Amino acid sequence: MYCHFANSLNDLNTEISKGLRDNNLLNENIELIKIIECHLESFTIDSIGKWHKLKDLRFIDSNIKSLTSDGLVKLESLEIIGIENSNIENIDKNISNLKALKGLILRRNKNLEIFQKYFSDLTSLEILGLIGDPAIEEINQDTFSSFVNLVNLDLSSCNIKTITESAFVNLPKLKSLSLSDNALTSLPEGVFQGLEELENLDLHGNNITELQRSHLSGLRKLKSLTAFNNKLTKLPPDLFEGLTEISSLSFHFNEIAEIEEGIFDNLPYLTELSLSNNKIKKLPNGLFKNSPKLKSFEVGENELESICGVFSKNLQYLEYFNVHDSKIKNLQPNCFGELPGLHTLEFRHNGVEEISKGAFKNLQSLVYLNLQDNDISVISNGVFEEVPSLSRLVLSSNKIKTLETNCFDDVENLTNLDLHNNKIETLPSFQKLLRLETVYLTNNMLTSLDDGVFNGLTKLSSLYLDYNHIINVHQGSFKDLRMLSTLTIAGNGIATLPSSLFSELGKLESLDLQNNLIKNIEPNAFEGLSKLTSLKLTNNNIHSLPNGIFDPLKSIEVIYLSKNGIEHIPNKLFVGLASLRGIELNNNKISVIEPKSFYGLKNLESIDLSDNKLKTIDSDTFAGLSHIRVIVLDNNKLTKISVSDFENLESLSYVGVQGNELPPEVMDQFTQKYTHPWFAQ
């Protein structure tokens, strides 16, 4: 149950009763109550029955001043109390009678010293969180001496600067300890001695400069060590000696310059290792020869020049390897050894110039390969022959000029191919990529699309060809693309749209042709596009649009025609486009709109005719637009227009007429009647 914004005990109990009633619940079945943003002098639960199962009670962002034993006496099953962002000033000394209490979580509270007076008597505690208290600067032997049953201790985000040698000596059952985000610069030797049950140790977000084997003495059951975002410069070769249960190590964002040979030799259960964002220049060969269970290895943003030889033959479970942002220039044959289970390989932003044939040998399970932002210039035939399971391949932001004809023949399971931002002039064969769904070719140097260039791509749904140098698009360029839903060819040099160019794209929903040089749209250019909902022709050289040109677009919702040279709108241009919701015709040279040009567009909501050369608007220009909300006529040459011309448009909320040659009184009438579009309801 959640209770919000109560300002008195009566309000609180009323809200609790209402919540129970509205949700058909009985108080005796409630296990958790959260009291959020309430302002109470003290706390108690009204005697509306027994709370036999209430185990967890949380106060969050509530200014409760007093916490008394009377308020909790009826909560016989209560195990956890959590107080977050509160300002308790008084605690009943009898609160320590809650002998069954197992969890106390205090997060970002004031007056923590008030709580500390009663800590020592809560010997049954298994969970203790003192989180976000800047007053806690030191942990010593007496701090937790009575909490012999403690299993989980969270001291994160405080201001701890000093921990004495025997600070945790009386916590024999402790399994999880967090000291993250404090102000520690060093640890005393043997500081964790006696924590023989500890499994998780979190030291991240401090300023620790050194970690020695003696610091980890006694942690024979340790499974997870988190020490990222410190100032460690090295990891001694004996650091993990005797800590054979470790499965997870996190050392990213430190200043480690070297990983010594044999450091992980005694970690047979290691599954996750992160060494990213350090200064490592070299990794020893056979680094994980005794860690066959490794699943994830991150070593990105270092200074590595090679990765070859690092992986031994026993790593059959390694699924994820990330070495982005290093200095590796070549991927040599058999570079990764034998990694039969590798699923993801992140190799972006290195200095890779060449991929040798056989570089990905024995990576038969690889599904995702990211080679983005390298210096690769050629993709040769056969380079991917060892990765038959590859589904997503990212080669964007390289210097690729040449794609050899059959370079993708071996990756028949590919569904996503990203080649954007390269220097590609000619496309290879895609005929074997029968599962391909998305291709990114944006920002390359293609000049034409030949007949059949995408033959066989019957499952392709998205094709991005924007910002190339494409001038010619041949009649059969899009043959076989019967599942294509998104086609972007913006930012090219196309001047003519031939008849039936898109006739086989029966599933196309979005077509982007903006920022070309289109001047001529041949009859039937949009034939077959019965599912198209968005057509972008912005910023071309279109001067006229013949009646019927948009007739095939039975599902069209938005047409963008701004920034062209269109001079007039014929009265049958948009006839029959019953799904049309928006038309952008701004920044053209329109001086004439034939009567009833927009007649029948019953779902049209907005039309932008600003920045044209309109001198007059016929009284029935917008007649019948029952859903029209916004009409923009700013910056034309209108000298006469009347509010009455729009009176029958019941949904209309805005008409823009700024920047015309209208009398001030007319401007005032429009301003008063039609609000700004940003505030239109």
Predicted local distance difference test score (pLDDT) of residue 234: 95
Confidence class of residue 268 from pLDDT cuts 50, 70 and 90? very high
Residue 110 has pLDDT above 80, yes or no: no
Q: Are the C-beta atoms of residues 259 and 236 closer than 8 Å to each other? A: no
Predicted local distance difference test score (pLDDT) of residue 60: 85
Q: Length of the chain, please?
A: 681
Percent of the chain whose pLDDT exceeds 70: 94
Predicted local distance difference test score (pLDDT) of residue 467: 98
Residue 345 has pLDDT above 90, yes or no: yes
Confidence class of residue 142 from pLDDT cuts 50, 70 and 90? confident
Q: How far apart are CA 87 and CA 108, in angstroms?
A: 10
**What would you report as the CA-atom Rg of the chain, rounded to the nearest whole angstrom?**
35
What does the pLDDT average to over 101-124? 74
Residue 323 has pLDDT above 80, yes or no: yes
Q: What is the mean pLDDT of the chain?
A: 91
Handedness of CA 171, 177, 183, 184 (dihedral sign): positive
Predicted local distance difference test score (pLDDT) of residue 53: 83
Confidence class of residue 552 from pLDDT cuts 50, 70 and 90? very high
Residue 12 has pLDDT above 90, yes or no: no
Predicted local distance difference test score (pLDDT) of residue 63: 76
Q: Are the C-beta atoms of residues 122 and 96 closer than 8 Å to each other? A: yes
Q: How far apart are CA 638 and CA 646, in angstroms?
A: 15
Q: Is 104 helix (H, G, I), strand (E, B) or coil?
A: strand
Residue 2 has pLDDT above 70, yes or no: no
Strands 606-608 and 438-440: unpaired
Residue 65 has pLDDT above 90, yes or no: no
Predicted local distance difference test score (pLDDT) of residue 681: 42
Which residues are CB-neighbours of 640 under 8 A, at least 6 positions away?
Answer: 616, 662
Residue 230 has pLDDT above 90, yes or no: yes
For the purposes of burial, counting CB atoms within 10 Å of the CB of 47, is it exposed (0-12), middle (13-18) or buried (19 or more)?
exposed
Among 45-54, 182-191, 319-328, 670-679, the range scoring the smallest mean pLDDT is 45-54
Predicted local distance difference test score (pLDDT) of residue 112: 59
Predicted local distance difference test score (pLDDT) of residue 226: 98
What does the pLDDT average to over 94-102? 72
**CB 238: neighbour CB atoms within 10 A?**
14
Among 90-99, 150-159, 231-240, the range scoring the smallest mean pLDDT is 90-99
Among 76-80, 444-448, 501-505, 645-649, the range scoring the smallest mean pLDDT is 76-80
What does the pLDDT average to over 287-309? 95
Predicted local distance difference test score (pLDDT) of residue 324: 97
**CB 644: neighbour CB atoms within 10 A?**
9
Predicted local distance difference test score (pLDDT) of residue 37: 82
Confidence class of residue 680 from pLDDT cuts 50, 70 and 90? very low
**CB 117: neighbour CB atoms within 10 A?**
12
How confident is the model over 475-503, as pLDDT tens digits? Answer: 889 999 999 999 999 999 999 999 999 99
Q: Are the C-beta atoms of residues 275 and 299 closer than 8 Å to each other? A: yes
How confident is the model over 512-539, as pLDDT tens digits? Answer: 999 999 999 999 999 999 999 999 999 9
Predicted local distance difference test score (pLDDT) of residue 117: 66
Handedness of CA 390, 393, 398, 402 (dihedral sign): positive
Residue type, 314: N
Domains of the chain: 1-125 (3.80.10.10)
Residue 355 has pLDDT above 50, yes or no: yes
Which of these, 42, 82, 44, 94, lies nearest to 63 by C-alpha position?
42
Predicted local distance difference test score (pLDDT) of residue 47: 46
Predicted local distance difference test score (pLDDT) of residue 1: 52
Q: Which helix (H) or strand (E) holds 608?
A: strand 606-608
